Amino acid sequence: MARAIIAVLDSLGVGASSDAAAFGDAGADTFGHIVEACANGEGNRAGLREGPLRIPNLTRLGMVALAEAARALPLPGVDRPVPEGLHGFAAEQSRGKDTPSGHWEMAGLPVDFDWGYFEAREGTFPPALLDALISEAALPGVLGNCHASGTAIIEALGEEHLRTLKPIVYTSADSVLQIAAHEEAFGLDRLYEVCKVGRRLVDDYNVGRVIARPFTGHDRGSFVRTGNRRDLVTPPHGPTLLDQVQAAGGAVVGVGKISDIFGGCGITKSCKAVGNDTVMEVMLEQMASADDGSLIFANFVDFDMLYGHRRDVAGYAAALERFDSQLPAVRAGLRADDLVILTADHGCDPSWPGSDHTREYVPILGFGPHITPRDIGGRSSFADIGQSVARHLGLPPLAHGETFLNTPIRRGLEHNVTA
């Protein structure tokens, strides 16, 4: 009996999608711009990495082929072997470019409504919301109240937070309220409780997430965010692939922040893991023990959190090379009827202005002992991933998406390639 593994390289977009201009992202290209920077030396960093991007395992699967098809331009300094994996790219149908929308859509549930956003750059949150948060969480007040990079705002306001114990509240282009506080001085459990209050309050604004952002350190030179982040997400608005697997008696193992992203819905086992290496370690452990019929769903958040949002091209490149070096261990852990899909949930181009996600196509790389290598072209929805996994696991069809397993290549996207 089959198993499926979905590994999300969080934010690894492969070129601006056809609707990117509407999001201010025309020209964004997370993977392509990293490859270009490494080829021209801008992706070098002493002691970390240098030279062209070296991802031989991803390249053999078809990463370069699908990226060049998605961007309709060649990439410099890369090899082009005949792909050994199922490879293509997908456009997002959901109306946002946020983490929940991307994951829910790849699980067969596009977000066909608009999230609520806090759009003002300063004085961002409605006074009624902040007043209620301060009152109901018994806070001395709040700091921030703006759009900001998480690391930058902690550096700017962390010392005042330590003096006043007022939590730092901020947002981004996503539908989110983020609350940062010192793990020791303010207290981690206290921060989680404040975020629970915030989660209830933002329901009135149709906001997708409240994120607890704990940090440590004693001054602006030493503040650092910890691995105790927690995402409080509104539950999916309908059933997903995860619910389908669970209903059929299969296990759904969420690794990293997957359980948070789905609000715990459809998850039978949640494995917390901080950092890409730990996520990989735990994913491999679960592959070794999961029963037939299982879905293992892992999110490699460092690509987005540490490198995309922080606009760190060299760090992102090094992380890709590190992930690539671990793929032989994934292959070694496969059983005869396993399917692995590598993909992403949105873009976060580290060469792009600002610190927000970018609207991009995402890669689809599939492999397994019985998976036939082929070009699946451009897909019209991330939901094709969920539909294909459902097909692989022998489940009834999902409401959205078209399978790319054992079907002719679909045509119709602007930059499709020839099979």
Q: What is the pLDDT of residues 244-284, one digit of tens each?
A: 999 999 999 999 999 999 999 999 999 999 999 999 999 99
Provide the residue type at 348 as one letter.
C
CATH class of 3-112+237-392: alpha beta
Please report the pLDDT score of residue 287 as a whole number.
Answer: 98
Bridge partners, residue 144, by sequence:
169
Name the CATH superfamily housing domain 127-233. Phosphopentomutase (3.30.70.1250)
Tell me the torsion sign for CA atoms 98, 100, 102, 108.
negative
For 341, the 3-state DSSP assignment is strand
Same CATH topology for 3-112+237-392 and 127-233? no
Give pTM, 2 decimals. 0.90
Q: Where are the domains of the chain?
A: 3-112+237-392, 127-233
Contacts of residues 402-410 at CB distance under 8 Å and 24 or more positions apart, as own/partner, are: 404/86, 404/88, 404/364, 404/366, 404/376, 404/379, 409/374, 409/375, 409/376, 409/377, 410/376, 410/377, 410/378, 410/379, 410/380
Instruction: Write the CB contacts of 412 (distance below 8 Å, at least 6 apart in sequence).
Output: 378, 380
pLDDT digits (tens, 9 = 90+) for 347-394: 999 999 998 999 999 999 999 999 999 999 999 999 999 999 999 999
Please report the pLDDT score of residue 1 as a whole number.
Answer: 79
Q: Which residues of the chain have pLDDT under 50?
A: 407-419
